[in-house]
Each structure stands twice: as structure tokens, then as C-alpha cells.
A and B are shown apart, each in its own frame.
Chain A
């Protein structure tokens, strides 16, 4: 197997994207249904998709957890080393985050069509890197940055809980740091309201630059990858039962 084929997580990506597309299709139908219901029976003035996307972040976190928890034992059982797994898992997360951000951007576009048909104003309510749902490159940048830190935080927590059992709870604040940093550069207040009540004008997020978000995402992701590797490099595969 050559270098690229050895590190490209073809089946890991295919399996998770296939499942994600199924979940996404259901999610889109439900969210659009809610939007139409609000439009018909009430006042629809802002994007429902913008609010609903919070569920996508948690979904991405769970995917990060399962990548380590479910697939590391499978890889080792099939004769792969932890190093090989870590390489493929890292590439998977680097590709999965932009894929889900593309689906998120597509969701805004689909929602825009629905709103146009209903004659409702399609606008966002909260502060973002983008000024409106039609600014696709900025939508992609914001959600890519967010999903990258959420999925890598999931991998760290998956590794920590697998190795330490309940002791993994100690890693939650560590995993949260890059997430908070990225959200402070994008949409801190509405996603994490408790932290949003801190003196945010002094935080980088209040200026909300794309460069800040990308830097925070890459830096945070690198830090979390390094910590995750520290956990899994010699992690025992648990005995059953």
C-alpha cells in the first residue's frame, strides 16, 4: 500500500458520510417543516436553520467520540497499529469537518428557497462571520472552523473516557478550550450563553474576524490531536465484559 492510500481513510469516511447524509436528509425535512409551520401559523422573520445547526455541532462531537471508541479497537483487531489509526482518524476529521460545513451551507441555501417561496425574509439573527446566509464562503469558513474543533474535541474525549473511564471527565475543560476559542471568534454569545455573559468585548470574538477563527481552529485542532495521540499511542484495547 503506498503512502497516500495507507493514510486515506476511505471506508471510515464513506461509512460516516453515508450515515451523515441519511441523518442530514431527515434533519433538513424536519427543520424546513418547522420553518414552514412557523411561517404559516406565526411570524417567520429569521433563519430557523441558524438555530437548528447547534444540533449539528453535537452530532459532530459524537462522531469524533465514536471514531476513537468504536474504530480504534476494530483497526487494532484487524492488524493495524495505533499510529496507522491515528493518521487515518486525523485525515478523516480534517475531511469530515468541511464536508459537514458544506452540508450546513447547503442547508442555508435550501432554506433560502423555501423562504423565497413563502415570501418570508431570509436573514440571520445572531452575530457570525457572515452577514447573511447567502455568503457561502464565509458560511463555509465559520462552520468548518467550528466543526473541526468540535470533532477533534470529540476524539479527545473519546480517547480520554476509553482510557480513563470516568476519569475522562477531567479532559472536558481541556477539550472545551479550542471550542470556546473558535466560538469566541464567531458566535460565542448565542452558542455558549453562560460564557457569553463574560466581558466579551475584551475577547477576540467580539471583533469576529475570519482569520482569528481559522487560526483558532487550526491551532486548537493541532493541540487536541497531540493530546489525543498521547492517550492512544499505547492505549490497551479493553477486555470484553
Chain B
């Protein structure tokens, strides 16, 4: 089931602090979306409003064409997971599942059991006594087994070791293929997980900086690799996000699309052109002193 998510002119404040400032976008649904942003950028606030954890201060949030906050028909279809899915103080892992099963009509108990085994989460242990990684893994279990048409994970990898994180990504992708739905993931581990994202939203200081298809985003930058002098001549006048050097070979990451003419010149000069890492673009787009954040990044 694909539910469209529409956010319009969303504003949220905590006292004097503006957490979200006129955020607006539309997600057509049925995809895995990446929500990227620096610490304090407003990711959690945005997800909190989408998940009905908070009432929007101003603007509107609609899922499936209906407002979210205190709307049972909509909240039934959303699931926001932060750490252990709010179950940290509820008792044991079994207790957390006991309530999930009772409260979620779409709960898949068999899948939850399988995931508990996969992540090696002890069922009888108190949730609060689990390590941060295991609590996050429990949150992943609660999120995936919810089978909610709109499932959101807010930095759900926290504390998880690399094998657990990769197990999470594999499970997420496999379950998404078997049961297509809308998944929104906020993360800092951009390169590790970016291959999952079909679309990416970048938020910075409470404002949406970018909302784009992942492939199109990758096309916003180019890595230019070749002899140091040739690369230096080629990138002169362009916005260079970063450099890597190995001996006399240099790889420069350039922001902005190259036209056909420039690409031809690069090839003629024996330079290799390749895609740029989304993380580098993210750093560039959210840098605090960026003179040129690029045109048309607001959507």
C-alpha cells in the first residue's frame, strides 16, 4: 500500500527555538526515503510530527490525504521508531511485544519472532538493561514487524555493531520487496545506507535544503581522477568539494553537472569521471559557511 505524504509550510518551535521553519514536500509513497541532516537540523522534529508524536505548530501534514495528528485512521498506518520504540521502561522484551501485538492490528508476530532471533535479542531481559545496540535492534523489530504502511526509523542504527546494521539493511530491503510500503529513514551513516534510498531529503537548520531522486543527486557532482596537473587544470574555476591524492594521482570531487563539452575535454585529457559520494554532497550542502549552496535546492 502506498500512501502519499504531504507536508506543507510546516513549522515547529520549542520555546524560542525554531526546529522546523516552513518545511514542505510531497512523498508519493512506496519507496525508501532517506532523511539526512546534521545534529539538531530538525530530522527528529519532522519525523515526530509525521508520526503524530507532536502536533505541528503551523502548516499541515497529511498522509493519504488526511491530517495525521489524533486521527486514528491515519495513525494506525504510521509507525515511528526511535531507539527501542518507546518501550525502554515497559519491562521485558516480551512485554514490549505483548503490547505491540495488542495495539497494532497489522502486527506480524511470526516475523517479529524471526527478527528477534536474527538480532539475538533476549526475550526475557528487561529492555532498559539491554545495550544501546540491542535496544535499537528491538526498535527495528518493532518497526519492521508493525507492517505499517508508513514506517519511519529515526537513527535506528545507534549503538548497533556493523553486522547488526547490515542485517537491518538486508531485512529492511527484503521486507520492503515482499511488502512494499513507505519507509523513511533518518541517518548519519550516509554512505553505508544510501544505496537503499530511492529519494533523499536533506534538512538543515529546520529548512528543507533538498528533495531529490538519489540518482539525480549523485549526478549533481562528479569525481575527476587523473594526473595531478591535468586534474588541477580541469577543475580550475569549478566548485571542488574535496580531494584525494595518491602519489601523483589526484581525485577531485566537483559540485555541479558537467556539460557534454566538458566531459569530452576530460576524456580527451585522459581523466576519469565518476559518481560522487552522497555524503560529500551532503557535507557541501549543509556546510555552515557555504557561499553557494547551489540553485533550486528548495522543493
Task: Please list the residues of chain A having a beta carbon within 8 angstroms of any beta carbon in chain B.
Answer: 1, 10-11, 15, 69-71, 73-84, 233-234, 236-237, 239-240
Could you tell me the distance between the alpha carbons of A81 and B71 in the complex, rounded to whole angstroms? 7
Stretch at the interface among B48-56, B187-195, B260-268: B48-56
Residues on A with C-beta less than 8 A from B279 are none
The answer to whether B54 touches A77, judged by C-beta atoms less than 8 angstroms apart, is no
Cβ-defined contact, A75 with B48, below 8 A: no
| Interfacial chain A residues near B105, Cβ < 8 Å | 1
Number of interface residues of B (CB under 8 A): 37
Q: Are B48 and A79 in contact (CB under 8 A)?
A: no
8 Å CB contact of B44 from A69, A74, A83, A239: A239
A74 to B98: give the CA distance in the assembly, Å: 11
Interface-facing stretch out of B84-92, B109-117, B248-256, B288-296: B84-92
Interface centre among A70, A77, A236 (most CB of B within 10 A): A77
- 17 new A-B contacts, CB < 8 A, other than A71-B99, A236-B54, are A74-B87, A77-B80, A77-B81, A77-B85, A78-B100, A78-B103, A79-B76, A79-B78, A79-B103, A79-B148, A80-B75, A80-B103, A81-B52, A82-B70, A83-B72, A237-B48, A237-B54
Q: Which residues of B contact A75 (CB under 8 A)?
A: 103
How far apart sit A233 and B52, CA to CA, in the bound complex (Å)?
12
Q: Are the C-beta atoms of A240 and B148 separated by less than 8 Å?
A: no
Interchain CB contact under 8 A, A10 and B44? no
A11, A74, A239, most chain B CB atoms within 10 A: A74
Q: How far is the CA of A239 from the CA of B78 in the complex (A)?
A: 18
Most chain A CB atoms below 10 A, which of B80, B89, B99, B103: B103
What is the bound-complex CA distance between A71 and B91, given in angstroms? Answer: 11
B171 within 8 A of A: no
- Minimal beta-carbon separation of B45 from chain A (angstroms): 8
What chain B residues lie within 8 Å of A237 (beta carbons)? 48, 53-54, 86
Closest to B83 in A: A240
Instruction: Tell me, in angstroms, the Cα distance from A239 to B104 when the chains sit together.
Output: 22
Complex CA gap A76/B53 in Å reads: 7
Contact A76 B86 (CB under 8 A): yes
Q: Does B271 contact A (CB under 8 A)?
A: no
Q: How far is the CA of A1 from the CA of B89 in the complex (A)?
A: 28
B98 touches A15 (CB 8 A): yes
